[in-house]
Amino acid sequence: MSYPEIRPRRLRRTPAIRRLVSETRVDPAELVVPMFVKEGLTEPRAIASLPGVLQHSRDSLRKAAVEAVQAGVGGIMLFGVPEHRDPTGSGGIDPNGILNVAIRDVVAEVGDATVVMSDLCLDEFTSHGHCGLLTPGGEVDNDATLEAYAEMAVAQAAAGVHMVGPSGMMDGQVGVVRRALDAAGHQDVTVLAYAVKYASAFYGPFREAVESTLEGDRRTYQQDPANLRESLREVALDVAEGADLVMVKPALPYLDVVSAVRAAVDVPVAAYQVSGEYAMVEAAAANGWIDRERVMLETLTSIKRAGAQIILTYWAVEAAGLLRERY
């Protein structure tokens, strides 16, 4: 009987050997945790479709920010949930609006110990739930929306944010935001461009988290899930307009896109493991169908392996602890 001369299994024999030869590692510093803060809350509130994720009060947000820093995560992405909304989303620009107040709270609490990021979009603040201002006919007005984004960016920068994340998929949004920041003296504020954001069915739990009032859908500005070349065009435009980092959203259904973007640009690439991705795993684990912690880390590793240097995930704080134990 002949035996194999080459035995790849030797490199899998023990946990120590597997750690030694591991090709892809996720570091806690590469994880960003999204956090929601709701105006008027005195206690944090659970989100039914996102088990373990909360709508925070201002006080609980500050505590959660400290816990994230202690866990070693690389950043916190803030989303505001206002008590009142209007057609123009004025609460996103108001210095005393919940998101800008939350930015000040978190920066005052953690300083530069982690990267404080903010979602730069109107959808949480508009009564119609769209990411921009509407024409009299009900269509999203790209250029009028850009003016609002510019004001919103300056308001967030004035509140002390380190990085803004324009996410509305308006044409020209990165360039307008960059110019507005620079003109207001905020040249050091970084722009994380949601360069590739698909009109995905995976956003459902997020819409509960922000109490979305969306009427209709966002297919006229978010991308068609069938398209890859279009994504690369969007990325190239955002980099040319001054994006410091670019992001793909969602992550797992679009790993081929993450890989293609990584190959196309020389700026850092992020991916957002969105609410539906998280909720599916949590639901399957709750039914005993999968090993929750192993699947959690496997999904994060797959996103990193595809080319994302930074991963936004609702598991960021928990995963950071598991990764420290693993490595």
Enumerate the active-site residues: 197, 249
Residue 36's CB is within 10 A of a number of other CB atoms, namely 25
Q: In this structure, are residues 244 and 192 in contact, taking their beta carbons and an 8 Å threshold? A: yes
Report whether 314 belongs to an annotated binding site: yes
Helix, coil or strand: residue 126:
strand
Tokens of residue 140, six digits? 């999203």
Half-sphere exposure at residue 131, Cβ-oriented, CA atoms within 13 angstroms: 23
Q: How far apart are CA 257 and CA 198, in angstroms?
A: 11
Q: How far apart are CA 131 and CA 215, in angstroms?
A: 11
Length of the chain: 327
CA separation (Å) from 98 to 36, 152, 159? Answer: 10, 13, 11
Residue 121 dihedral angles phi and psi, to the nearest 5°: -160, 155
Q: How far apart are CA 72 and CA 42, in angstroms?
A: 27
Residue 247's CB is within 10 A of a number of other CB atoms, namely 28
Report whether 234 belongs to an annotated binding site: yes
Please report which residue ranges of 43-200 form alpha helices under DSSP H: 58-71, 98-110, 142-159, 173-183
Q: How far apart are CA 254 and CA 141, in angstroms?
A: 28
Tokens of residue 299, six digits? 């999904």
Question: Among candidates 108, 71, 234, which has minimal Cα distance to 166?
Answer: 234
Q: In this structure, are residues 304 and 323 in contact, taking their beta carbons and an 8 Å threshold? A: no
Question: Among candidates 274, 270, 265, 254, which has minimal Cα distance to 315?
Answer: 274
Binding site for 5-aminolevulinate, by residue number, is 207, 218, 275, 314
Binding site, by residue number, is 207, 218, 234, 275, 314
Binding site for Mg(2+), by residue number, is 234
